[in-house]
Structure 1
Amino acid sequence: MTSPGSTRADAAPDLPTHDPARRPGLWRFLLDVLRGALVGSVETVPGVSGGTVALVVGLYDRLIASLGHMVSGVKDWLIGTIRRDRSRAARAAWNFRRVHWWTLLPVGIGMVVALAVMAGIMSRLVEEHPVQTSAAFFGMVLASLYVPFSMVSRWRLRDLPVTLAAFAAAFALVSLPPSGAAEPNALQIVLAAAVAVSALILPGLSGSFLLLTFGMYEVTLGAVRDRDFGYIGLFFLGAVLGMVTVIKGLQWLLEHHFHLTLVILTGVMAGALRALWPWTGEDNALQPVGEHAGAALGWAIAGFLAVALTILVERLAARAAGRRAGSLDPGVSGLPGRAG
């Protein structure tokens, strides 16, 4: 089913098993709040993907479809208003009717509350135990590399130079010394949020990890913890812009260049691991293994196992959903570019 005046390629997928306009009961509402809290909690942890957790708890398809319809609806409404085009207004209304508002509302409530609580906890851990938390994050991201790697159906010899180039570019980028600025400016906040929100579209990619590679993870946690509404407002603006631009662009790449996108993403995530090495100097230079080495190793292993277990649960859940549906590809349900 497509919208008025649109083609199949323009429309986000419909989900006939869930009626977007149907108001849920109290228990379903509270369940979605809890699901949102789970997604929001892991969004503060580099290496653990909110998209993966959304898949595990059964929210991913509805969230991505709803975001797609919402962005398309806003775009059609703006164009229709400016041009006074009734067909565009009709397409906007069609898209808005297909947004699962009664899913987005409780999930959004749960995510906001969880983010506010977890930001304070994670901020204290990063400040008081930097080596241990960096080691745990390193193990988490190392394990999450399996997601884009495994989504490439067949690795070819010609993929190796592309992956190595992506690895080298990411490694060089996160090796740059600090700029010396005490606080990021407004443009940096908006751009970082726009890129970080792209992690919603791809399970395995962590928004907090992206912020960490930009050097903005701690300051963002601190802003949420201290209720810095100026920073939060700029971050929210960047997230909205990212949904309109970056997410749509990534969706297009996954639909049209799925293999190449995942090959590059694997290299980028591997190269960016350099940002999580627990021992670095003030100029961001790598240092040899230092204090708390035993504890760091233990936390790295624990982080690796935690993410590996999450991925395993997600794959088992996807296989079960695939058997019920009879036509889904186990392990990649709901991901663009792998259907059909």
Structure 2
Amino acid sequence: MEWKNLYRGFIMGISDLIPGVSGGTIAVILGIYDRLLDAISGFFSKRWKEQLGFLIPLAVGMGTALLLLSRLIEFLLENYHEPTQFFFIGLIIGVIPLMLKQAQPKKNFGSRHYIILALAAILIASMAFLNPEKTTEPITSLSLLSVIGLFFSGWLASMAMLLPGISGSFILLLLGVYSTAINALSTLNIPVILVIGLGAVVGFIGSSKGIKYSLSHFPHITYAIIIGLILGSLFVVFPGMVTGITTLIFCLITFILGLSVTMLFGSEKKLIKGKSDK
């Protein structure tokens, strides 16, 4: 068992509770993104037993964070929204130099790569102008229609989670399901958790294989997309101009803390693997 994945999963679980913050970005920061894709893809193959040592501690860590901290995250976002968001802005900004160092755009990017990067950034940044209803009444009992809706919501959210820069929680927010998911976790509504979770599992399978294929066959284009998604996510997470000297100081502290966490986990080894574009 890779027991280090307990704390890695815990950190990823926290990020997955925050609308606008990508679990994929956190996986990149922790240096396990490529391994995560391999493990998810391999788990649904003949090599599934080989992946248990990696996935079980990671899943336990994520599940623990989701169950224990869902109410805390709600509290922080409601009462300390700006400092909380600036912590994650620090995390996101910290990963950009690491990604640029790995992608080596001066060497590997042409005009098409920069166009793709810009389009990906604009696509995600545009979500900052959306105003999803955050006070949607949570679904607590299931019907056939709600089961279908929650299943596909979990599917779409999990696909977003694996892509750095796209937040699964924000996708749930756009779909009007975020309050349902948080309420289910807070109250341990097992049927609702299982429906969303099953959809998430299906989404993880498909997206992990797709991302892995893209990194293997079109790494430079994939890097351009990922960097664009990460840059665009800054606009989604940014809470607006901060007013008040006390709040400003707290935001500066949390921003530096987030930046420091990224620098701590960032290393010289490759964070995401790729071969060469065809």
Range of TM-score over shorter length: 0.7 to 0.9
Q: Count the aligned residue pairs.
A: 254
Q: 1:245 Cα deviation (Å)?
A: 0.6
Is 1:245 aligned with 2:183? no
Q: Is the 8 A contact 1:123 1:222 kept in 2?
A: no
Task: Decide whether aligned partners of structure 1 residues 177 and 96 sit closer, same or farther in structure 2, where only a CA change above 3 A counts.
Answer: closer
Is 1:336 aligned with 2:276? no
Q: Is the 8 A contact 2:13 2:65 kept in 1?
A: no
Distance in 2 of aligned mates of 1:255 and 1:262: 11
Distance in 2 of aligned mates of 1:306 and 1:175: 27
Is 1:96 aligned with 2:48? yes
Q: 1:275 Cα deviation (Å)?
A: 1.9
- The residue that corresponds to 2:233 in the other structure is 272
Is 1:171 aligned with 2:118? no
Q: 1:227 Cα deviation (Å)?
A: 1.7
**Which deviates more, 140-149 or 258-267?**
140-149
**Comparing both structures, which one devotes a greater share of its residues to helix?**
2
- The residue that corresponds to 1:211 in the other structure is 169
Distance in 2 of aligned mates of 1:61 and 1:69: 12
Unmatched tracts of structure 2, length 5 or more = 16-20, 139-148
Q: What's the TM-score once normalised by structure 2's chain length?
A: 0.74
Deviations 1:108-134 (A, max 9, x none): 333322332222221211122223323
Out of 28, 35, 39, the position equivalent to 1:66 is: 39
Max radius of gyration: which structure?
1
Unmatched tracts of structure 1, length 5 or more = 1-28, 74-91, 200-204, 280-288, 317-329
Relative CO higher for 1 or 2, CA cutoff 8 Å, sep ≥ 6?
2
Q: 1:101 Cα deviation (Å)?
A: 2.7
- The residue that corresponds to 2:189 in the other structure is 228
Q: 1:266 Cα deviation (Å)?
A: 1.6
Is 1:262 aligned with 2:226? no
How big is the alpha-carbon RMSD for the aligned residues of Structure 1 and Structure 2?
3.3
Distance in 2 of aligned mates of 1:100 and 1:162: 33
Task: Decide whether aligned partners of structure 1 residues 270 and 244 sit closer, same or farther in structure 2, where only a CA change above 3 A counts.
Answer: same
Q: Is the 8 A contact 2:116 2:224 kept in 1?
A: yes
Q: 1:255 Cα deviation (Å)?
A: 0.9
What letter corresponds to residue 36 of structure 1 in structure 2? L
Distance in 2 of aligned mates of 1:190 and 1:331: 32
- The residue that corresponds to 1:76 in the other structure is none
Is 1:111 aligned with 2:62? yes
What letter corresponds to residue 78 of structure 2 in structure 1? E
What letter corresponds to residue 119 of structure 1 in structure 2? S
- The residue that corresponds to 2:86 in the other structure is 135
Q: Is the 8 A contact 1:332 1:338 kept in 2?
A: no
Out of 71, 75, 98, the position equivalent to 1:124 is: 75
